[in-house]
Structure 1
Amino acid sequence: MSISESDWKKFKALRALALERFYLGVLAAAKTISERETLSAEARYRTLYRLTRDRDNDIVRMFDFYSRSKARESLAQMISHDLLTDSELSVLSEETLSAISYAVRQRYDIEWVAEQASGD
């Protein structure tokens, strides 16, 4: 079901905000990974590779379907990845808020790759 024209206009602004936060989060995680000097370069590279692969999949689910019929689904994904605050979402209609109320916020955690045993 499509969202109202009024919510669609608000969705566009919320989407842009969430996308910027998404990018900043990925960059912050990449920095954390690259600076973890207790891990080998290989382990950091493999962790970074997994991060970018997983976040590429996330970005498709959240941001690639730019239509009124998919806006609620996109908003729910943005909420589940904690990219929008309740205050920011409060501009939406009760109907839209009710439709996305099932979304549960979850933090992104880095999935660290274990060190490989030396093959000597």
Structure 2
Amino acid sequence: MIIGMGSDLCNIERIQNSLDRFGTRFENRVFTEIELRKAARRPHTKAGTLAKRFAAKEAFSKAVGTGFKAGVFMKDIGVVNSPSGAPTLALTGGARERLDALVPVGHAAKVHLTLTDDHPWAMAFVVIEALPSE
């Protein structure tokens, strides 16, 4: 069963402006080390890479119904790749706690994530599914 769904559209130029203005202070406040390493490997599209991840964080916060309050922080939501290369989310802290609170007893959460960008826009869509535990 679907227990949450969220989407976000992010302007890549807005992320570039934040990188130019605040630099590593912005990066370290918002993004995980894994996300920053991925972006560093893409110097020509760094802002786009980070904008997609920013959108994923926003989309997840909408899917769990909190936004960035109730203990859910941006750095608790990290975009990682599964072994197949598909993007998914690694959750810690308040983001993990909020997700766990939504999942019905006897079920486990599966987070689906899709990312795309076409300059100047980046988009993310999150669907949270509760699957019966075996």
TM-score (norm 1): 0.33
Larger radius of gyration, structure 1 or 2? 1
TM-score (norm 2): 0.31
Q: Would you tell me which structure has more helix in proportion to its own residues?
A: 1
Q: Would you tell me which structure has more strand in proportion to its own residues?
A: 2
